[in-house]
Structure 1
Amino acid sequence: MRSYYKYILLAVFCMTGVSCKKYLDVAPDNVGTLEYAFRNRNEAESYLFSCYSTMQQLNNVIYNAGFVTSAEVIYPNNLTANFFDQSGFNLIRGVQSTGAPVLNYWGGGVGNVNIFQGLRRCNTMLENIDKPIDLTEPEKKRWIAEVKFLKAFYHYYLIRMYGPVIIIDKSFPIDAPTDSLKRKRASTDESFAYVVSQLDQAIPDLPETIENQTKEFGRITKFIAMSVKAEVLATAASPLFNGNPDYAGITDKSGKALFSATYDATKWKAAADAAKAAITECEARGLHLNNTPPITGVSTASDEMKKVLTLQSAVTGRWEQNPELIWALNYGFNYQGFVIPKLTSAAVGMANTYPSNWAVPISETELFYTKQGVPINEDKTFDYNGRFTPKAGDDANKHYIKQGYETAQGNFDREARFYASFGFDGGIWFGNGKVNESDALYVQAKGIFATAGPKSFNSTNITGIWPKKLANYLTVMDQTFDVNNYQLPIIRLSGLYLLYAECLNEAEGPSGEVYRYIDLVRTRAGLPGVQSAWASYSTNPNKPASKDGLRQIIHQERRIELAFEGQIGWDLRRWKELQEVLSKPLQGWNINEGNSAAYYRPNTVLIPVFGVKDYLFPISTQDIIINENLTQNPYW
Structure 2
Amino acid sequence: MNLINRSIFLFLLTALAACNKNLLDTTPTDRLAVNVFWKTEADAKLAVNALYLDLDSTNILALDALTDIGHTNQNFDVQAYVELGTYDQSSAKVYGEWKSAYKGIHAANYFLENVDKVTTVTPALINQFKGEAKTLRAYQYIKLAGLYGDVPLVTTSITLEQSRTLKRTPVSEIYDFIDKELTDAAALLPATYTAAADKGRIARGAAWALKARADLFAGRYQLAVDAATEVNGLGYTLYDSYQKLFSYAAENNKEVILDKQFIKDNYPNNIFAILAPYSQKNGNSSYVPTKVLADTYQTSTGKKINSSGSNFDPAHPYDNRDPRLRYSLFVDGDALPSGLIFHPAPNSGTADAIGSTYIASTTGYNLKKYINPEDYVNPGNCGINIILLRYAEVLLTYAEAKIELNQLDQTVYNAINAVRQRADVNMPALPAGLTQSQLRDAVRYERTVELAFEGQRLYDIRRWKTAETVMNGPVYGITWNNNGQLTTVQVVSFNRAFDKSRHYLWPVPQKERDLDPALSQNPNW
Equivalent pair of 1:367/1:560 in contact (CA under 8 Å): yes
Q: Give me the whole-angstrom Cα distance separating, in 2, the residues matched to 1:320 and 1:360.
A: 24
Task: Confirm or deny that 1:117 pairs with 2:129.
Answer: no
Q: What is the Cα deviation at residue 288 of structure 1? A: 1.4
In structure 2, what is the equivalent of residue 279 of structure 1?
A: 232
Task: Confirm or deny that 1:417 pairs with 2:324.
Answer: yes
Match of 2:83 among 80, 84, 92: 92
Match of 1:369 among 298, 306, 311: 298
Task: Confirm or deny that 1:443 pairs with 2:342.
Answer: yes
Equivalent pair of 1:8/1:49 in contact (CA under 8 Å): no
Q: What is the Cα deviation at residue 488 of structure 1? A: 2.4
In structure 1, what is the equivalent of residue 309 of structure 2?
A: 380
Q: Give me the whole-angstrom Cα distance separating, in 2, the residues matched to 1:107 and 1:275.
A: 28
Q: Deviations over 1:543-580 (max 9, x none)?
A: x6211221111101110111122222222222222222
Equivalent pair of 2:3/2:49 in contact (CA under 8 Å): no
In structure 2, what is the equivalent of residue 59 of structure 1?
A: 57
Q: What is the Cα deviation at residue 631 of structure 1? A: 1.3
Q: What is the Cα deviation at residue 449 of structure 1? A: 6.7
Task: Give identity over the alignment, percent.
Answer: 23
In structure 2, what is the equivalent of residue 104 of structure 1?
A: 95
Q: Give me the whole-angstrom Cα distance separating, in 2, the residues matched to 1:417 and 1:449.
A: 25
Q: What is the Cα deviation at residue 42 of structure 1? A: 2.5
In structure 1, what is the equivalent of residue 334 of structure 2?
A: 428
In structure 2, what is the equivalent of residue 225 of structure 1?
A: 207
Q: What is the Cα deviation at residue 487 of structure 1? A: 1.7
Amino acid corresponding to residue 242 of structure 2 in structure 1: L
In structure 1, what is the equivalent of residue 503 of structure 2?
A: 614
Q: What is the Cα deviation at residue 519 of structure 1? A: 0.8
In structure 2, what is the equivalent of residue 334 of structure 1?
A: 270
Equivalent pair of 1:165/1:185 in contact (CA under 8 Å): yes
Q: What is the Cα deviation at residue 64 of structure 1? A: 6.0
Task: Confirm or deny that 1:145 pairs with 2:127.
Answer: no
In structure 2, what is the equivalent of residue 71 of structure 1?
A: 68
Q: What TM-score does the superposition give when structure 1 sets the normalisation length? A: 0.71
In structure 2, what is the equivalent of residue 537 of structure 1?
A: none
Equivalent pair of 2:259/2:388 in contact (CA under 8 Å): yes
Equivalent pair of 2:297/2:304 in contact (CA under 8 Å): yes
**Number of aligned positions between the proteins:** 498
Q: What is the Cα deviation at residue 529 of structure 1? A: 0.7
Amino acid corresponding to residue 210 of structure 1 in structure 2: Y
Within a 5 Å distance, the mapping from 1:130-529 to structure 2 comes to: 130-134=116-120, 136-172=122-158, 174=159, 178=161, 181-213=164-196, 215-237=197-219, 267-281=220-234, 285=235, 287-291=236-240, 310-318=241-249, 320-331=251-262, 334-341=270-277, 350-351=281-282, 354-356=283-285, 358-383=287-312, 387=314, 408-425=315-332, 427-429=333-335, 432=337, 442-448=341-347, 450=349, 460-472=360-372, 475-476=375-376, 485-524=383-422, 525-529=425-429
Amino acid corresponding to residue 35 of structure 2 in structure 1: E
Within a 5 Å distance, the mapping from 1:30-49 to structure 2 comes to: 33-49=33-49
Judge which range, 189-198 or 489-498, deviates more.
489-498
Amino acid corresponding to residue 428 of structure 1 in structure 2: D
In structure 1, what is the equivalent of residue 512 of structure 2?
A: 623
Q: Give me the whole-angstrom Cα distance separating, in 2, the residues matched to 1:233 and 1:455.
A: 44
Amino acid corresponding to residue 372 of structure 2 in structure 1: N
In structure 2, what is the equivalent of residue 392 of structure 1?
A: none
Q: Give me the whole-angstrom Cα distance separating, in 2, the residues matched to 1:280 and 1:45.
A: 28
Task: Confirm or deny that 1:559 pairs with 2:457.
Answer: no
Q: Deviations over 1:350-377 (max 9, x none)?
A: 33xx244643221110100001012112
Q: Deviations over 1:225-252 (max 9, x none)?
A: 1111110111110xxxxxxxxxxxxxxx
Task: Confirm or deny that 1:129 pairs with 2:115.
Answer: yes
Equivalent pair of 1:339/1:358 in contact (CA under 8 Å): yes
Q: Give me the whole-angstrom Cα distance separating, in 2, the residues matched to 1:289 and 1:7.
A: 29
Q: Give me the whole-angstrom Cα distance separating, in 2, the residues matched to 1:562 and 1:31.
A: 40
Change (3 A) 1:135 1:415: same
Q: Give me the whole-angstrom Cα distance separating, in 2, the residues matched to 1:561 and 1:159.
A: 24
The structure with the larger Rg is 1
Q: Give me the whole-angstrom Cα distance separating, in 2, the residues matched to 1:464 and 1:457.
A: 10
Q: Give me the whole-angstrom Cα distance separating, in 2, the residues matched to 1:571 and 1:8.
A: 36
Equivalent pair of 1:618/1:633 in contact (CA under 8 Å): yes
Amino acid corresponding to residue 279 of structure 1 in structure 2: N
Change (3 A) 1:117 1:457: closer
Q: Give me the whole-angstrom Cα distance separating, in 2, the residues matched to 1:378 and 1:517.
A: 25
Q: Give me the whole-angstrom Cα distance separating, in 2, the residues matched to 1:37 and 1:465.
A: 50
Unaligned runs of at least 5 residues, structure 2: 15-29, 263-267
Change (3 A) 1:634 1:64: farther
Amino acid corresponding to residue 219 of structure 1 in structure 2: R
Q: Give me the whole-angstrom Cα distance separating, in 1, the residues matched to 2:91 and 2:261.
A: 30
Q: Give me the whole-angstrom Cα distance separating, in 2, the residues matched to 1:146 and 1:481.
A: 32
Q: What TM-score does the superposition give when structure 2 sets the normalisation length? A: 0.85
Change (3 A) 1:375 1:324: same
Q: Give me the whole-angstrom Cα distance separating, in 1, the residues matched to 2:412 and 2:496.
A: 34
Equivalent pair of 1:106/1:619 in contact (CA under 8 Å): no
Amino acid corresponding to residue 506 of structure 1 in structure 2: E
Change (3 A) 1:502 1:458: farther
Change (3 A) 1:500 1:130: same
Amino acid corresponding to residue 509 of structure 2 in structure 1: S
Amino acid corresponding to residue 192 of structure 2 in structure 1: T
CA RMSD of aligned residues (A): 3.2
Amino acid corresponding to residue 397 of structure 2 in structure 1: L
Q: Deviations over 1:174-205 (max 9, x none)?
A: 5x7x2575122221211100111111111111
Equivalent pair of 1:370/1:379 in contact (CA under 8 Å): no
Amino acid corresponding to residue 85 of structure 2 in structure 1: G
Q: Deviations over 1:438-476 (max 9, x none)?
A: xxx6322233573x6765886622121222234225554
Q: What is the Cα deviation at residue 11 of structure 1? A: 7.2
Q: Give me the whole-angstrom Cα distance separating, in 1, the residues matched to 2:134 and 2:287.
A: 37
